[in-house]
Structure 1
Amino acid sequence: MPKQSLTLLLLISVLLLVSCSSTNQIEALKPEPDDATPLIYENIASFINLPVNVKLKDIQYQTNTLLNGLIYDDNNIEDDNIEMKVWKLAPISIINHNDNSGEKIKTILPLKAVIKYRIGTKKMGIELYDTREFNLNGVVTLVSEVGLTNWKLNTVTKLQSLEWNESPTMTVFGKNVPVTYLITPAIQLFKSKIEKKIDAAIAKSMDFKPTVLAALEKICVPFLLSETYKSWLRIVPIEIYSTTAVLKKDNFILEMGMKCNMETIIGQEPESKFNASKIILKPVTKIPKDITANIIAVSTYQEASKIMTKNFIGQEFGSGSKKVQVQNVNIWHKAGKMIIALELTGSVNGTVYLSGLPKYNEQTKEIYFDQMGYVLDTKNKLLRSASWLAQGFVLRKIEEHCRYSLQNNLEEGQKNMLPYLKNYSPMHGVFINGKMAAIEFQRIQLTNQAIIAFLKVKGTIDVSVNGLQ
């Protein structure tokens, strides 16, 4: 063999040996994920104030809308010997009425009534009846006590007075004859009818359920807390509590509160869990003002892996000529611990696997991994081919980057929450106000799909419903 060829062959052999000695290919066995607890977690309920404020003018408007023109028509005289037609002559007025027994509502109803009253009997198949027709035109004043029953304002109305615009008349031989001296006893004939009609109209116009549920449905649509971390806040209602409706001056105030779960989801926009059919209204005597909101932060392993991958960008681990870079990080759950898969390039190519227990650092607001070490198969392969990478100081350097901070997420979450706590209106007549203190970390729970961080924040949240549509 020529001398030049032999020299070239030796040079290529040396280069290959140097290359093989400086870059190792590691193929460690992947620890397969196991089934941890499914994505069902213990959630401590939160409480949101939900005061409903309705002005008397709203009740007046709704009642006038429901009662218009002919407001009562009973054309069956056979059941109770009475026929009655009642017309509203002008808009109804509803105002506050305060007496010694408390605040009530007063309804002023201008009306016209035609009443047919049958007196007599039926004996042996022979009808012996005398039917009289009364014509009334005046202003009825009614007073109502108020309460709350099954989402509706419940009133017990009593006729207080009746002032005639014209002298009451009775039809005699086709002519209207004044019968003021007879009409007072006849008032009892239609008194209860008018009272029940007013009660029914107010109950129908003051049904809180559609408005409250519409407001809740809007509130329960998940909204974006952080664009950077793609975190969403989702509210899931459980129960609605309510005190007795109270009339204060020209407003009905109904203190309501919502027991709910509050979740922070990291990743894609989650679906709303609002289900109107499952919400129950429960009576209580008092609604607390200061509340503690218990929030869960759901960090899927996929999203946590992306955050941790960013920590390693531009970082090298090792010393001298023996260095590696982490190109990608993947994490998952196995046997109560987290598996961290690091895809390496440099002096070592391949994927190495570490395990550790997730913990939270209250000072730095970071989730980190305690008791971190290479899984057994990875460690054995590193000791045979790249023992320098298995050494403790390299592992500690890698461990420093195997963490992700919640500090910015919490701060940005609080910052992004502020616009929703300053007279935010998700729909007409609904306003959200509140204040919140610093978010406190509680604990971590692992599932087969995510790391669940439990957070607590104290403050007040009021969702006020002003008026009914």
Structure 2
Amino acid sequence: MERFYNLALLFLLVVVTTNCSTPSKINSFKPEPDDAIPLVYENTPSFINLPITIQLKDIENTTNNLLNGLIYEDNIIEDDNIEIKIWKLAPITIENSSKDTDRKIKTILPLKANVKYRIGTKKMGLALYTIKEFNFNGIITLNSEVELVNWKLNTKTKLESLNWNESPTMVLFGKNVPITFLINSSTTLFKSKIEQKIDESIAKSMDFKSNVVHALEKISIPFQMSEQYESWLRITPTEIYSTNAILKNQTILLDMGIRCIMETLIGKKPETKFNANTIVLKPVAKIPNQITANITAVSNYDEASKILTKNFSGQEFGSGKKKIKVHNVSIWHKNSKMVIGLDVLGSLNGTVYLTGIPKYNETTKEIYFDQMDYALDTKNKLLQTANWLAQGYILNKIQANCHYSIQTNLDEGKISIMAYLKNYSPMAGVFVNGKIEDIQFKRIQLTNQAIIAFLKISGEVNITVDGLK
């Protein structure tokens, strides 16, 4: 009986001693990160097509805003024996007058004119002139050929007809005398002035270069895509392409394209890389009708560590009563692999160092770590202090929890992009519509400072100008 009590006491002592003992500590050698050098990574340019639709009504409105009241005045009679003043009587109308093979718009200009015509000669140093004054109003119809030159919508306008609302008259002996035949034969004196004025007004209102460069500067300012993950999208245009303008119904169609670098960056708001002086403008015959966007997602290790720490929050690993919890995660790069430092509490206190290579599973849409193992010094220390943690099935359990599906991220990214493709209006009168067909995760590249992920997006974008100001 005494022997039985001694054994029971010994057993109880062992149990109490085991349960009340302090957790094991691990002091592993930290694999130092590679030396910091400038971040360099491969980046494939993106091509975004931007077909633009401009309503002729908008050209009409801007032309009317530029041409008001007295639209032409020539007060010098000595050079060509004529003074002309022309007023716009009513709003100008611009419409498509094209046939299948033409690119022409028709401009209808209601006008009032005052013409002073000098008749006479100089003889023996004496000026023998008579000045006749004509007043008339009517409607001039002009046809303009449309083309895009140096990012301006240029027109070559020709006067087609002149119809009088009332017969032109001149003041003769204090009375208005009809002189329709005389005015009709002398329209050549001022028609070129009217044609030039219309061309200048349209060119001024439809100068795309400054508008396009200004718009590019705006979209080049990085904007936040996710507040939770502190992710930013940065677009850096390098080249702009454009086809010639095409008239269709009551619209002008213009295909444009942008060659750019697209990046998503994690952390604080990055600086813009836009430089208007480096933008190359290129005229082309044809532009593909689809987006090919290659997005580079840059996540530096400090910011990625914060995200992984959130992902590991509450995770517990172990077997039986031997368990640990991860309360902090740090990652860095060494020798073409990723080092993952897990600060743990529980049956083991300290930092456990793992190594692995991040890869992407196209089928499951998951990022996972291949060839994951404990760092050599960590493994040796675990065999001495916590062999249970060094066992393969614990590592496999940790590795299993390191699988991270990005399908949700891709779906959310698609939804975020679509928000800008459903009648989005970045400025008054400009509307963006389109669709995203697919977002593909292409590959991962490790640098000594960041994890670089590469995505490819395909789809369509259309820009409509309606109510341009």
TM-score range, shorter chain: 0.7 to 0.9
What is the CA distance between 1:277 and its match in structure 2? 5.5
Tell me whether 46-55 or 126-135 shows the greater mean CA deviation.
Answer: 126-135
Q: Give the aligned partner of residue 8 of structure 2.
A: none
What is the CA distance between 1:305 and its match in structure 2? 1.9
**Structure 1 residue 337 and structure 2 residue 337: aligned?**
yes
Q: Give the aligned partner of residue 351 of structure 2.
A: 351
Q: Give the aligned partner of residue 27 of structure 2.
A: 27
Q: Give the aligned partner of residue 408 of structure 1.
A: 408
- Give the 5 Å matches for 1:302-321: 302-321=302-321
What is the CA distance between 1:263 and its match in structure 2? 2.7
**Structure 1 residue 367 and structure 2 residue 367: aligned?**
yes
DSSP-derived class of the 2:304 partner: helix
DSSP-derived class of the 2:186 partner: helix
What is the CA distance between 1:284 and its match in structure 2? 1.7
Q: Give the aligned partner of residue 132 of structure 1.
A: 131
Q: 1:269 to 1:149 in 2, by over 3 A?
A: same
Tell me whether 142-151 or 291-300 shows the greater mean CA deviation.
Answer: 291-300
- Are the equivalent residues in 2 in contact too, given 1:243–1:284 (CA < 8 A)? yes
What is the CA distance between 1:96 and its match in structure 2? 2.2
Per-residue Cα deviation, 1:46-84 (whole angstroms, up to 9, x for no partner): 233322222222222211111111111222345555433
Per-residue Cα deviation, 1:264-311 (whole angstroms, up to 9, x for no partner): 334455555555555444222222123332222222323322332244
Per-residue Cα deviation, 1:68-124 (whole angstroms, up to 9, x for no partner): 111112223455554332222222222222358524211122223333455677899
Q: Give the aligned partner of residue 258 of structure 1.
A: 258
Following the alignment from structure 2 to structure 1, what is the Cα–Cα distance between the partners of residues 89 and 386?
98
Q: Give the aligned partner of residue 5 of structure 2.
A: none
- Are the equivalent residues in 1 in contact too, given 2:55–2:465 (CA < 8 A)? no
Q: Give the aligned partner of residue 105 of structure 2.
A: 105
What TM-score does the superposition give when structure 2 sets the normalisation length? 0.84
User: What one-letter code is carried by the residue in structure 2 that aligns with 1:345?
Assistant: L
User: What one-letter code is carried by the residue in structure 2 that aligns with 1:423?
Assistant: N
Q: Give the aligned partner of residue 69 of structure 1.
A: 69
Q: Give the aligned partner of residue 436 of structure 1.
A: 436
Tell me whether 393-402 or 343-352 shows the greater mean CA deviation.
Answer: 393-402
User: What one-letter code is carried by the residue in structure 1 that aligns with 2:134?
Assistant: N
Q: 1:108 to 1:434 in 2, by over 3 A?
A: closer
Following the alignment from structure 1 to structure 2, what is the Cα–Cα distance between the partners of residues 63 and 145?
16
Q: 1:109 to 1:378 in 2, by over 3 A?
A: same
Tell me whether 90-99 or 128-137 shows the greater mean CA deviation.
Answer: 128-137
- Are the equivalent residues in 1 in contact too, given 2:157–2:196 (CA < 8 A)? yes
Q: 1:129 to 1:386 in 2, by over 3 A?
A: farther
Q: Give the aligned partner of residue 152 of structure 1.
A: 152
Following the alignment from structure 2 to structure 1, what is the Cα–Cα distance between the partners of residues 225 and 239?
25
- Give the 5 Å matches for 1:166-177: 166-170=166-170, 177=177
**Structure 1 residue 458 and structure 2 residue 469: aligned?**
no
Q: 1:267 to 1:129 in 2, by over 3 A?
A: farther
User: What one-letter code is carried by the residue in structure 1 that aligns with 2:131?
Assistant: R
Q: 1:35 to 1:76 in 2, by over 3 A?
A: farther
- Are the equivalent residues in 2 in contact too, given 1:211–1:468 (CA < 8 A)? no
Following the alignment from structure 1 to structure 2, what is the Cα–Cα distance between the partners of residues 250 and 410?
39
Following the alignment from structure 1 to structure 2, what is the Cα–Cα distance between the partners of residues 102 and 366?
55
Following the alignment from structure 2 to structure 1, what is the Cα–Cα distance between the partners of residues 320 and 375?
26
Q: Give the aligned partner of residue 161 of structure 2.
A: 161
- Are the equivalent residues in 1 in contact too, given 2:298–2:453 (CA < 8 A)? yes
DSSP-derived class of the 1:98 partner: coil
- Are the equivalent residues in 1 in contact too, given 2:147–2:153 (CA < 8 A)? yes
Q: Give the aligned partner of residue 447 of structure 1.
A: 447
What is the CA distance between 1:361 and its match in structure 2? 2.0
- Are the equivalent residues in 2 in contact too, given 1:118–1:129 (CA < 8 A)? no
Following the alignment from structure 2 to structure 1, what is the Cα–Cα distance between the partners of residues 37 and 464?
39
The percent identity for this pair of structures is: 64
Following the alignment from structure 1 to structure 2, what is the Cα–Cα distance between the partners of residues 213 and 468?
17
- In structure 2, the gaps of 5 or more residues are 1-12
DSSP-derived class of the 2:190 partner: helix
- The CA RMSD over aligned residues, in Å, is 3.4
Following the alignment from structure 1 to structure 2, what is the Cα–Cα distance between the partners of residues 460 and 184?
53
Per-residue Cα deviation, 1:148-168 (whole angstroms, up to 9, x for no partner): 122221000111122233443
Q: 1:131 to 1:375 in 2, by over 3 A?
A: farther
Following the alignment from structure 1 to structure 2, what is the Cα–Cα distance between the partners of residues 457 and 152?
31
Q: 1:123 to 1:261 in 2, by over 3 A?
A: farther
Following the alignment from structure 1 to structure 2, what is the Cα–Cα distance between the partners of residues 120 and 34?
94
Per-residue Cα deviation, 1:179-222 (whole angstroms, up to 9, x for no partner): 44433442221111111011101111222345545655565555
What TM-score does the superposition give when structure 1 sets the normalisation length? 0.84
Q: Give the aligned partner of residue 285 of structure 1.
A: 285
Following the alignment from structure 2 to structure 1, what is the Cα–Cα distance between the partners of residues 179 and 117?
14
Q: Give the aligned partner of residue 382 of structure 1.
A: 382
- Are the equivalent residues in 2 in contact too, given 1:301–1:450 (CA < 8 A)? yes
Following the alignment from structure 1 to structure 2, what is the Cα–Cα distance between the partners of residues 465 and 301?
43
What is the CA distance between 1:395 and its match in structure 2? 2.6
User: What one-letter code is carried by the residue in structure 1 that aligns with 2:150?
Assistant: N
Q: 1:99 to 1:418 in 2, by over 3 A?
A: closer
Following the alignment from structure 2 to structure 1, what is the Cα–Cα distance between the partners of residues 114 and 190?
10
Q: Give the aligned partner of residue 419 of structure 1.
A: 419
User: What one-letter code is carried by the residue in structure 2 that aligns with 1:38?
Assistant: P
Tell me whether 148-157 or 390-399 shows the greater mean CA deviation.
Answer: 390-399
What is the CA distance between 1:447 and its match in structure 2? 2.9
- Are the equivalent residues in 2 in contact too, given 1:243–1:285 (CA < 8 A)? yes
User: What one-letter code is carried by the residue in structure 2 that aligns with 1:389?
Assistant: L
Q: 1:72 to 1:339 in 2, by over 3 A?
A: same
Following the alignment from structure 1 to structure 2, what is the Cα–Cα distance between the partners of residues 428 and 174?
54
DSSP-derived class of the 1:439 partner: strand
DSSP-derived class of the 1:333 partner: strand
Q: Give the aligned partner of residue 244 of structure 1.
A: 244
Following the alignment from structure 1 to structure 2, what is the Cα–Cα distance between the partners of residues 310 and 181?
89
Q: 1:281 to 1:172 in 2, by over 3 A?
A: farther
Following the alignment from structure 2 to structure 1, what is the Cα–Cα distance between the partners of residues 114 and 185?
15
User: What one-letter code is carried by the residue in structure 2 that aligns with 1:135?
Assistant: F
Number of residues of Structure 1 aligned to a counterpart in Structure 2: 456
DSSP-derived class of the 1:43 partner: coil
DSSP-derived class of the 1:298 partner: strand
Following the alignment from structure 2 to structure 1, what is the Cα–Cα distance between the partners of residues 418 and 298?
21
- Are the equivalent residues in 2 in contact too, given 1:49–1:289 (CA < 8 A)? yes
- Are the equivalent residues in 2 in contact too, given 1:36–1:446 (CA < 8 A)? no
User: What one-letter code is carried by the residue in structure 2 that aligns with 1:193?
Assistant: K
Following the alignment from structure 2 to structure 1, what is the Cα–Cα distance between the partners of residues 449 and 133?
78
